[in-house]
Amino acid sequence: QVQLVESRGGLVKPGGSLRLSCAASGFTFSDSYMSWIRQAPGKGLEWISYISGSTRYTKYADSVKGRFTISRDNAKNSLYLQMNSLRTEDTAVYYCARSHQRLIEVIEYWGQGTLVTVSS
Amino acid sequence: EIVMTQSPATLSVSPGERATLSCRASQSVSSLLAWYQQKPGQAPRLLIYGASTRATGIPARFSGSGSGTEFTLTISSLQSEDFAIYYCHQYNNWPWTFGQGTKVEIK
C-alpha cells in the first residue's frame, strides 16, 4: 500500500526558511518521479517542482525557482523541499506526490498535505 | 503558461442525475489532460488521464472526452460520494497547470 507522509509544516516569517520532508513506503521509491504540489487556502492546485528517480532531472515553477530546492534520498525513501526566502504568497498546503508509473506528468498518489503559513 | 478554465464554478445536481463538467485550455494540449477529484480535507484523487482513460479503480460512471482545447468530464449518475471539487490538469507543456475547479454540490 502506497503511503506518503509529509512532515509537519508550520508558521514562518517572511524571508525565513523551512524544509519539508516526505516519507514514502509501499513502492520502489528510487524508480518513481516525485513532486511537490501546493494549494493556497481556498484556491486551486499549483505544481511547483518534480524530481526524477535518479535525481538527474528536476524542474521548478517560475514562482519558486531560485528559492526552493527539491531533493531526495533514495536510501531513506524520502523526498525533501527546501524553501528559502519565503513570501506570504507561499502560504499553502504542500502535497508530496508520486507520479503514475507510465506517465510522469500525472499524479497517481498524494500525501495528506502539510500546511505552511508565511506570516509576520 | 497554459491557462485552464473550468465551467461552471459550481454545479448543483440531484443524486442519480448526470453531471457534465467542462474544461478549456488557452492553447491546444492534445489529449494530455487529466481529471482529479478532491473532497474537503482530503488530497486529490486521480480519475482520468489521457483525456479519456480511467485510472485504476475508478467506476465506469466517470468518463472523459475531448482533445485540443475542449474537454468534458461526465458523471453518468451521481452518487453521494461524488459530491466534491473536480480539477482538470494539462500536462502538454511545463508548467503543468490545473483549472480552478468545479464544485459539484447536492441540489
Chain B residue numbers touching A36 (CB-CB < 8 A)? none
pLDDT at residue B59 in the model: 97
Q: Tell if the CB–CB gap between A103 and B91 is shorter than 8 Å.
A: yes
The closest alpha carbon to B35, from B8, B11, B6, belongs to B6
pLDDT exceeds 90 at position B107: no
- Buried/exposed code over B20-53 (b: 16+ C-beta within 10 A; e: otherwise): ebbbbbeeebebbbbbbbbeeeebbbbbbbbbbe
Residue of B nearest to A44 (CA): B100
- Buried/exposed code over B75-105 (b: 16+ C-beta within 10 A; e: otherwise): beebeeebbbbbbbbbbbeebbbbbbbbbbe
**% of chain B surpassing 90 pLDDT:** 93
Chain B residue numbers touching A111 (CB-CB < 8 A)? 43
Q: Using 50, 70 and 90 to split pLDDT, how confident is the model at B41? A: confident
